[in-house]
A and B are shown apart, each in its own frame.
Chain A
C-alpha cells in the first residue's frame, strides 16, 4: 500500500459519513477512480455500515409508560418533600440571618455602650491637685521608713509627718 492509499484510507469513514470538506472529497474520489484496493476497502466499510443498520429498533414494553408514571409520581413526592424541608430550613435560616442576628447585635451593642459608660465613670484623668497628693503620700511612705527607725528619737519629725498627713487627707 503506497503513501497515497494510507492517507486516503484514513478518510474513507469520514467520506462515507459525508464529513469531508469538498476539496478532500474530490481528491478522494479521484483516487478511488484509479485505485481498486481503496475501492474494495470502501465497499467493505459500506457493507459493514449496512449490516449495522439491520439491527432493528425496539418498542417500549407494554408497561413502560405506567412504570414511568409511577417513578415520576415518586420523584414528584420526593421533590415536594425536599422543597418543604428546604422551605423550613430557609425560614430558620432567615430568622437566624436577619431577626436573630439583628437582635443579637443590638443587645451586644447596648452591653458594650453600658460597660464603657461604667468604665469611663470609674476611670477619669486625675487632677493636678490629686497628683500632688499622691506625690505627698509617696513622700509620706518614704518618711515612714525613717519613722520606724528614728521615731522615738525625732519626735519633731513625727509631728511634721502628722501635719503632712493632715494636709494630704484634708
Chain B
C-alpha cells in the first residue's frame, strides 16, 4: 500500500505518536466539515470530529492496511455521525451545558465570509440555507454518500468502500439524493437558468 497516510497509521500503530499527530493535522478540517455538513451544528460537529480522532487512537491496534487510510477514517466518521443522528447525544449534552453559547460561534463563523461583498453574501447565505434544508431532509446514508460525492468528488467505488456497499448501490443512492436535492432547490430558491 503506497498511501502515505497508511504508512503514518502503521507508524502510529508501532507507537510513534508524531505520526498520529500528523494524521490529526491532515484530516481534522476535512473530518470537521464532513461532520458539520452532516449534522449542521458547528459545536456538535466539533465534538463528533474529535470523537473520530479519539476512536482512531483507541482502535489503532485493530487497524489493517487493506484500503486507503481515508476509507477507514471516514468509515469511522460516518458511523459516529449516523450514531449521533440516531441518539442525539452530543446535541442533547450541549443543549444542557452550554445554553446560550451559540452566538459567539456563529459570529466567528461569519467572520470568514467578511471579505465578500454584502450582495454576494446574501445570495450565498440563501443558497446555503436551501442546501442545508435539502441535505437535512435526506436519510443518513444518502446524506453521507452525497457529501462524499459533492464535496470530495469521490468515485462511486470509493464511496461504496466508505459506506460498505456496492458501486451499484451507491449509484442509485446518489441518483436519488441528487434528484431530491435538485427538486428541493428548484422549489426553494429562484435562480437564473444557465
User: Does the CB pair A45–B182 fall under 8 Å?
Assistant: yes
Interface contact A14-B175, CB-CB below 8 Å: yes
Interface size on A, residues (CB 8 A): 31
Q: Is the CB of A17 within 8 A of B174?
A: yes
Instruction: Report yes or no: B54 in contact with A44, Cβ–Cβ below 8 A.
Output: no
Q: Does the CB pair A56–B128 fall under 8 Å?
A: yes
B72 within 8 A of partner (CB): no
A51 CB within 8 Å of chain B: yes
Query: For B189, what are the chain A residues with a Cβ–Cβ distance below 8 Å?
Result: 51
- On whether A45 and B178 interact (CB within 8 A), knowing A60-B46, A75-B57, the answer reads yes
Alpha-carbon distance between A52 and B131 when the two chains are bound, in angstroms = 6
Cross-interface CB contact of B150 among A44, A46, A53, A64, cutoff 8 Å: A53
Over the window 33-49 of chain B, the binary record of Cβ atoms lying under 8 Å from chain A Cβ atoms (1 yes, 0 no) is 10011000010011000
Closest A residue, CB atoms, query B150: A52
Q: Give bound CA distance, A56 to B111, whole Å.
A: 12
How far in angstroms is the closest Cβ of chain B from A36?
13
Contact A19 B185 (CB under 8 A): no
Query: A residues within 8 A CB of B194?
Result: 43, 46-47
Chain A 1-29 residues near chain B, CB threshold 8 A: 10, 13-14, 17, 19
Is B58 an interface position by the 8 A CB rule?
yes
The stretch of A65-73, A87-95, A117-125, A157-165 that contacts the partner chain: A65-73
> Is B29 touching A55 in the complex (CB atoms < 8 A)?
no
Across-interface contacts of B153 in A (CB, < 8 A): 17
Contact across chains for A58 and B42 when beta carbons are under 8 A apart: yes
